Structure 1
Amino acid sequence: MLFDALVINANPLLNLVHPGPYTPGAVNRVAALAMVAEGKGVNVARVLARHGHRVALTGFAGGHSGAWLRELVRAEGVHDAFVETLAPLRVGFMASDPQDEHPTTVFPGGFEVTQAECQALLNRVESWLDSVRLVIASGSVPAPVADGLYADLLALCERRGVRCWLDAYGPAMGRALAGPVAPGLSKPNRQEWAQSPGWERVEELHITDGAAAIEIVESGRARWRVWPPALRQVNPVGSGDCYLAGLAHGWLAGLSWEARLRYAVAAGAANALRPDVAMIAPEEIPPLLDGVRLERL
């Protein structure tokens, strides 16, 4: 069976969310809390599935928390290809008051994985490469032992002739940028771009900067500057993931270069208008397309 994309989220998150007003430093009794599957790759896979794409999602997910996340992922129509780990998946908390531009979030940075589990994930990816058009690795890695994971992944995809995009940060991204195979596409924010050398090797680089203009660099040269629509943000968390999903949708659907950029920026803007994270529907994006401004450099 053929899939449009295989998404890798090595360090996903099971997030307990309160989507409403709250009072810091007080007992807050609310009607309900929601348990949500999150992580950069989870967000990308969810948005692609909502666009009708056949998507498989892999990464590390162990314990009861991992099982719950996998159940939530499957309910979104995403194929579960996760690798189970001995350590349980991380669990976080987010309170998102519609009156606050930035939600309150608390979550662990990662969880323990072993070298054998890292190799099992690479083996899982390799088993899928004959069945997918695009591989997207998105997010951090859960532990230092996995810092070489993305460099190995890029080399694996290169050997098998499958295009691989990488949206990550920290030491794992640094090793990938210094490795033998550069990503086909990356989407650092301005701070991540400044922290790691080697970005000039990326074939297609999208440097985001919150609500400011996005700079697109191809083969080391700046080519485009793109401004998102003017809007009042409700919750910008996950907008970069929706932008990446919009780029992937445009690439998979065969949209023109300019149409792909407009769609990706509008997808990120649509997410910022909602209190939840990467839950946008395709019909929310077209009304924002006319507000996207492109400049060829």
Structure 2
Amino acid sequence: MTISALPWLPLPATLDQVARVVGRGAEHAARADGDTLAAARLAAEAGGRAAAWVRQLAVRQADPAHARALAETARAIARAGSHGIVLGGERLADEDRCALAGRAVLGAADTTAPPDLYPGERTALLAACTLAAALPSVEADRRAAELRFLAAELAATAAAGQLVAAARAARLAPVDSSGLVPGPESGDGPRARAAHPAHRGLGERAFYVFELVLAHQGGTGEESRREALAGALDATARGLAAAALLGAADDPALGLDDEQRQYLTRLAADLDPRVTRDMRGSEGGGPAAGRGVR
């Protein structure tokens, strides 16, 4: 509901005063510099992503009352991040502020149980509501900096909430440990496995060391083969450990964020840069391209 600006004016009011008050929202948008407008776009995008995540929570609810309540919260988050609100030209409606209150995690009134939310989603939902409610209250003289800060936190919170559901779904799925060791990109069997650069490189390294140690031993007896095999395992142990870390970094069941995945990738690169390069490509130190949230 739009509140008339006229009651705010001292009487008698001049036409110039009326024009200034009524045009307040337009002035805010017109005076916003490029930095502020860019920050407002970030806030709108973060609000949209957070709202989309909360709508996913709403769809999952078996109780229609909880579904409606979460849908209202999603709508309020998107509204709080809209240009008209964050640029100061409009005010957030009371019903939207109510939808962003802490009761969002408790769901609709007169229900026998709270909404169906996984452990970790409630915390993320509370944080998203708090951050969204803070967007309209940024200081005018620090609007660009504060909007950018809140938008980044809101986007990260929504991403963390999405990871909770993705990790839970992956944990309920059959265990797949194939990504923990260098394996084929497609197909199966020794020939397909050998096609993977990391697996081929480790195999060639092990074979080279095995043959070298065996030749140094000067024999083909059991003891010589044991020494050669031990040398081959030593030569590939760090590479296999690096491959396992890279596989774990890409396991959605762990629910790792980008910083955690990058840490595991750095550990793998420290163990064996060649395997890390083969499994990650020329980019090396970051998560696999296009992994995203599933």
TM-score category (smaller protein): under 0.3
Higher relative CO (CA 8 A, sep ≥ 6), structure 1 or 2? 1
Return the TM-score normalized by structure 1: 0.26
Which structure has the larger Rg over C-alpha atoms? 2
